[in-house]
Structures are given as structure tokens and as C-alpha cells.
Amino acid sequence: MKKGIAIAILTTILMMLSINILAVCPCTQNTVVVYVDGEKLPFPDQAPFINPDNRTLVPVRFVSEALGADVDWNGEQQRVDISHQGKGIQLTIGQREAQVDTGVVTLDTNAAITNSRTMVPLRFVSECLGAEVEWNGVAREVYITTQNAEPVKPFEGQPYNQVVDLPTSDYLGYELYRANEPGARVSYITVDKLPMRVGRYVIYSLTVDNEYVHVKQRAITDSNMVRAVSMHIKENGYLNRSRHYADGQPGIFIYSYPLTLRGEIADGIGKADKTKIEAFVFDDGINSKSQVLVIANPLYEGGN
């Protein structure tokens, strides 16, 4: 009997402790990753999180300064003052009204203090500072694009023609996604034209070294199962060295595609020469239509 009472008391204490911990610290399952213009924003001591109102709160100083704003804290009035290009924002802890220039805006959640950090509604602050906000619920990531950022360009292209464009498959038989079907389109660009969308992906940047081509990208998908965008290498007018089905991750990530795959030298293909590669070819589909993006190799020095 005494043992049962002791267990009950211990259980009650543990439950009370867990409630107190949750009241102070948001659950780690609610944490959110924030990108500003494609760069992951560091939060050294307090990560953004989703509050009970289902709104993303972020440490005001880190985000505001990343967006080019100045931040002041008025401890006496428990108020955050944000200024940016002549615009002023004032948020008071615990209140659902914010001062924006000379007007008052009603918020859908409160600013709060968590772990000694002032947390404010991300979307409200970002949009007040002229940035665009995109939410990926699967990856639990927020993408903020400022006015100074290079905008993601839509894929346009021209009808794919197998006579004047690339063949639709490489030497191993790996095909470009539906490039031989009606409606397929192809676009030829240089790296300075990035970021650009192709199918379900955004390609932000591309760099090449002796061993790899490094592609910063994001898959636009509602699934946690993410593959890096499919890539071929264009050499001497042909598609070689297929790079299909490489594992990626939700959100923005850099995938390094090897210039030479294991087994290619044994098959007589030879080691890739970064100066002889004409272009990198990415393919994906949207609305069942093929989109092929051909990015010229910035290190190309001419054919064999």
C-alpha cells in the first residue's frame, strides 16, 4: 500500500515538472528553421517555434537584423521598437495590437518572452519590412525573401526538339523526364541567371570543382521523401553520366553530384574533366510536362 502511494506521489511530481518545463520552453517538436534569401538563419540560444495559436514566433533581433532593420528594446514598457527604411514598428509583450507607423494593427497572436528572448510573430514582422514569406509545413521551414534578393525566375523555355536539342536519354538509357513527349520544354541559361525553377525544384546556385558539381536547391513538395533534382552531364553534344535518384532533404540543401561515378572508369567512360564538360542538365516535370534546364558549365574551355 505504501509503495503504491509513493509511486502515485512520484508520478504526480513528474507530471507537474513536465507541465512547468513545457510552460517555459516550447516543445522541440514545434521548432522551425528559417531561411532568409536562401541562407539558413542561426539562432544560438532560442530557436523559432510554433505557439498555441499555431503561429511562428522568432527572436526579434536575429530576424529583424537579417532583414536589414534596427531593433531597440524598451525594458520599462516591455516594448520592441523596429525601424527600417523610415518605417517604424512597435510591439508590446502580451498585447495583440502593434503600432505600425501611425496606425494600429491587430495581431493574431502575442509577442512573448521565452528564455530571455523577445519572440515576435514572424510573418507580421517580415511582411511589415517588405519581405515575402513562404511556409513549408512538411519540412517545418520558413523561406523569407527580401526586396534585395534575386527573385526566383519561372521556367519558360522553348519546345524541346530532339534534332537541335539534346537526345532524350544518355548512354545507359536513362531518359530525361518525358522529354520525348508533346509539351516538353527546354531552357538554356548561365549560372548568373539563377535562381530558377525547373519542375518541382528551385535551383539557387551551381559551382564546380575538380570532383563535384555543388547545387543549392529546394524541392517544392508536400512529402518528407525528397530526392535531389535529376542531373545529367553534357559532353561533346551528348548526355553522359546520369545522376538520378540521389537522396536529398526537405527544405533548402546543397547536393554535391560527383563528376565521375564509381564504375565509369572501369566501363571505359574515363574520368570527367571539368573543363571539357559543356553543361549540366536538370530535368523534372510539372503538370505531367517535362521541363529541362541546361546550365552552361562556368569552367568549360572547349571540346576535345
Residues 56 and 173 in one domain: no
Least confident of 16-30, 43-57, 59-73: 16-30
What mean pLDDT comes out for the span 71-89?
A: 92
Q: Is 282 exposed, middle or buried (0-12, 13-18, 19+ CB in 10 A)?
A: buried
Q: Which residues contact 32 (CB under 8 A, 6 or more apart)?
A: 47, 48, 49, 50, 56, 58, 140, 141, 142
The answer to whether position 17 is within a domain reads no
Question: Is there a domain that residue 65 lies in?
Answer: yes
Q: Classify 62 as helix, strand or coil.
A: helix
Residue 290 belongs to domain spanning: 158-296
Q: 138 and 223 in contact (C-beta within 8 Å)?
A: yes
- Which of 10-19, 146-155, 196-205, 281-290 tops mean pLDDT? 196-205
Q: Is residue 166 a contact partner of residue 274, using CB atoms and an 8 Å limit?
A: no
Residue 51 has pLDDT above 70, yes or no: yes
Residues 164 and 278 in one domain: yes
Same-domain check for residues 138 and 177? no
Kindly state whether residues 218 and 162 are assigned to the same domain.
yes
Supply the pLDDT for residue 166: 82
Q: Which residues contact 158 (CB under 8 A, 6 or more apart)?
A: 185, 186, 187
The pTM of the full predicted model, rounded to 2 decimals, is 0.70
Give Cα separations from 165 to 158, 199, 219, 290 (angstroms): 10, 19, 26, 14
Q: Say if residue 110 is in the same domain as residue 167.
A: no
Of 122, 145, 168, the one marking the end of a domain is: 145
The verdict on 234 and 174 lying in the same domain is yes
Burial 289-303 (b: 16+ CB within 10 A, else e): ebbbbbbbbeeeeee
Comparing C-alpha atoms, which of 236, 54, 229 is closest to residue 135? 54
Q: Do residue 186 and residue 259 come from a single domain?
A: yes
* pLDDT winner (highest mean) among 43-47, 186-190, 247-251: 186-190
DSSP string, 72-121: EEETTTTEEEEEETTEEEEEETT-SEEEETTEEEE-SS--EEETTEEEEE
CATH number at residue 117: 3.30.457.10
The amino acid present at 295, given as its one-letter code, is I
Query: Number of structural domains, the chain?
Result: 2
Same-domain status, 140 and 95: yes
Assess whether pLDDT exceeds 50 at residue 165: yes
Determine the 3-state secondary structure of 151 from DSSP.
coil
| Bridge partners (DSSP) listed for residue 283 | 230, 292
Mark whether 268 and 174 lie in a shared domain.
yes
**303 in any annotated domain:** no
37-45 average pLDDT score:
88
pLDDT band at 120 (very low <50, low <70, confident <90, very high): very high
Co-location of 92 and 116 in the same domain:
yes
Judgement on whether residues 174 and 131 belong to the same structural domain of the protein: no
Inform me whether the pLDDT recorded for 20 exceeds 70: no
Q: What span, in angstroms and rounded, lies between the C-alpha atoms of 238 and 219?
A: 27
Q: Is residue 301 part of a domain?
A: no
**Low-confidence winner among 35-44, 119-128, 221-230 (lowest mean pLDDT):** 221-230
pLDDT at 3 over 60: no
